[in-house]
Amino acid sequence: MKSFGVVVFLLVLLNLTNCHGALQTGFYVGKCGKQDVESIIRNVVRQRFARDRTIVAALLRMHFHDCFVTGCDASLLLNGPTSEKTSPPNFSVRGYDLIDQAKAAVERACPGVVSCADIIAIATRDAVALAKGINYRVQTGRRDGPTSQARNVNLPGPSISVPSSISFFASKGFTTRDMVLLIGGGHTVGVAHCSFFQDRLFNFRNTGRRDPSMNANLANTLRGRCPRGSPVDNIINLDQTPGSSFVVDNGYYRQIRAGKGILEIDQAMAFHPSTRSIVSSLANSGRTFQTQFGAAMIKMGALQVLTGRNGQIRRTCGVRN
């Protein structure tokens, strides 16, 4: 029965990687002369990764923040006084310059062919692969959205409860397992400022004490890194596994299972009855995490996409044509 289950899952994954709606793998083959669009983008990402490994988390965050608002349409990239960039949840999003560099590179090769939305998806996959994550077969064929409004941004914060997070992801068509995979996949290479979790160290829910679900030794260490009243808002790795903070792997799940989650949602997922068994299965198998994370990323990348004659191919990612 176990082998049958594995075969069924791999068949489902194969279907996901070949075509998802109007998207497809290899969409740009033959559309840029003899140039390989994905290789052009990969080279830009590789050069950045060589000097800044934090770009992996940045691109994962950008991809998520773009897709979960009006779909994977690169609306997040548009500039403007009331664009999505001006919404507080997006203040810490970065990596725009890398997308611009990749766009400039593909425009030199074949102007007006490759969408900014596809560049985000391809660059994110390449960054994940460079960080020793799965090199999933990203689907392409997206077109860019014409609008971007801050009022449309409604993204979950780090203190969201597990039930509320499940509801949010379900509203977008994602399962609870998808949620655990997407949050964990982003947080395994992610960071957070002390201000986002300091209450867990000193005054959790106005109790005057630390969050009892946090490992005591970790809490003591973090108090030293995030002292109360400090004018410096330090940055802490969300995956506390030694040597794994910039690697896309399942170490994050092992850490939160041991009470070493940094953000409240991280720790809550490890202990909540709706997510506990999922966290354990991912903590116990790096292969399971990689395969299922790749499938979840493909699914996310197909969220409310514009294809065919819908939308446009922007000449510059931050400006409508």
Active-site residue identified among 20, 63, 65, 272: 65
Q: Give the H/E segment covering residue 62.
A: helix 55-70
* pLDDT over 60 (residue 15): no
* pLDDT over 70 (residue 14): no
Residue 211, annotated ligand binder? no
Residue 224, annotated ligand binder? no
Residue 69, annotated ligand binder? yes
Give the pLDDT of residue 22: 85
Contact 44, 109 (CB under 8 A): no
Average pLDDT over residues 104-130: 98
Average pLDDT over residues 203-223: 96
Mean of all residue pLDDT scores within the chain:
93
Is 20 annotated in the active site?
no
Average pLDDT over residues 88-105: 97
CA distances from 194 to 24, 212, 224 (A): 41, 18, 11
| Residue scoring higher pLDDT (291 or 12) | 291
Q: By mean pLDDT, which of 7-16, 185-194, 252-261 is the weakest?
A: 7-16
Give the pLDDT of residue 21: 54
Q: By mean pLDDT, which of 1-15, 70-84, 156-170 is the weakest?
A: 1-15
Average pLDDT over residues 266-294: 97
State pTM to two decimals: 0.92
* pLDDT over 70 (residue 168): yes
Average pLDDT over residues 228-248: 94
Tens digits of per-residue pLDDT, 155-167?
999 999 999 999 9
Residue 249, annotated ligand binder? yes
* pLDDT over 60 (residue 12): no
Instruction: Produce one character per residue of 282-293: b if its CB has 16 or more CB atoms within 10 Å, e if not.
Output: bbeeeeebbbbb
Calculate what percentage of the chain has a pLDDT beyond 90: 93
Tens digits of per-residue pLDDT, 63-79?
999 999 999 999 999 99
